[in-house]
Amino acid sequence: MDDPTGNHPDMAFDPTQLPNCGSQSFAVGASKLPPSVMLVIDRSGSMSEMAGSLSKWDSLK
Residue 51 phi, psi dihedral angles, 5° rounding: -125, 90
φ, ψ dihedrals at 17, nearest 5°:
-85, -10
pTM of the full structure? 0.31
Residue 1, pLDDT above cutoff 50 = no
Q: Write phi, then psi, for 3 (nearest 5 degrees).
A: -80, 175
CA distance 44 to 25: 48
Average pLDDT, stretch 36-58? Answer: 85
Q: For 2-43, write each residue's pLDDT tens digit.
A: 555 565 566 666 666 666 666 777 788 878 888 888 887 888
Give the chain's end-to-end CA distance (angstroms, integer).
50
Helix (H, G, I), strand (E, B) or coil at 55: strand
